[in-house]
Amino acid sequence: MKKLIGNVLVLALFLGGFTMCQNADTSNKADTSEITNQKINESPTKKDGAKAVTVADPSGYKVGDKAADFSLKNVDGSMVSLAGMKDAKGYIITFTCNHCPYSVMYEDRLIALHNEYAPKGYPVVAINPNDPAVQAGDSFDDMVVRAKEKEFPFVYLFDDGQKVYPEYGATRTPHVFLLDKEMTVQYIGAIDDNARAAEDVTVNYVVKAIKALENGAKPDPNFTKAIGCSIKAKK
């Protein structure tokens, strides 16, 4: 009975958050259409990853490109750059946010990913790309609160002025760009193949890509379609 009640609560949270995401996009017809299609096409199965509705912006980084460094404000007030992470062998750059239900569903998975792979040299570097004037709940102050609530072990950076996410070509939250030590993009896309149910994941794309790099191989696949809410920017 407890398990049934828990599942109902999770479903209610998802549907409520999903509606919020839809409402946030009603000012832009293209965004609304994408999210509507996303709702229709997805099912809570291992096929979720295959049903994603967006690809990386053609003007952004592609696999094999070298990413530029950045300096962004962390929730602890410090400025963070990739160059400052001296012991890193790679970087799990993840564009995410507070409000998006997909981002919320992946929070615990990102925590687990960082806890396992940061000691091996691959930290999660979370970046909120949303304009808080467009999307309520995604301000820097809100980020600080959320990071404390979830006890994020990774940095949670604010893309103030929205200068970094267009360089990467990120379009969704969450959207992952795995970089190697030289900051060359090695993988772009989803974290795994099931956004809605962590227990039903059959392929963890990021973990698989990291293991390939550790073995001196190229990630395969090196690109998957990201799934989530559209990044919120002023029109």
The pLDDT assigned to 36 comes to 29
The pLDDT assigned to 49 comes to 39
Query: Is 235 part of a structural domain of the chain?
Result: no
Q: Is 75 exposed, middle or buried (0-12, 13-18, 19+ CB in 10 A)?
A: buried
Average pLDDT over residues 149-177: 98
Of the pLDDT bands very low, low, confident and very high (cuts 50, 70, 90), residue 59 is confident
Query: Is 147 part of a structural domain of the chain?
Result: yes
Chain centre distance of CA 197 = 16
Q: What's the pLDDT tens digit per position in 6-52?
A: 444 444 444 455 444 543 333 333 333 233 233 323 333 333 433 33
* CATH code, 108: 3.40.30.10
Q: Which of 27-36, 142-151, 175-184 comes out lowest in average pLDDT?
A: 27-36
Buried b or exposed e, range 160-177, using 16+ CB within 10 angstroms: eeeebbbbbbbbbbbbbb
Q: 205-214 and 101-117 helices cross at what angle (nearest 10)?
A: 30
Cα–Cα distance, 175 to 125 (Å, whole number): 12
Residue 76, amino acid:
D
Percent above pLDDT 70 for the chain: 75
Torsion angle of C-alpha atoms 165, 95, 152, 158, degrees rounded to 10: 20
**Domain hosting residue 123, numbered range:** 2-230
Instruction: State both tokens at 133.
Output: 């004037």
Query: Is 200 part of a structural domain of the chain?
Result: yes
The pLDDT assigned to 58 comes to 56
Q: How many domains does the chain have?
A: 1
- Residue bearing the bigger pLDDT, 32 or 165: 165
Instruction: Give the predicted TM-score (pTM) of the model.
Output: 0.79
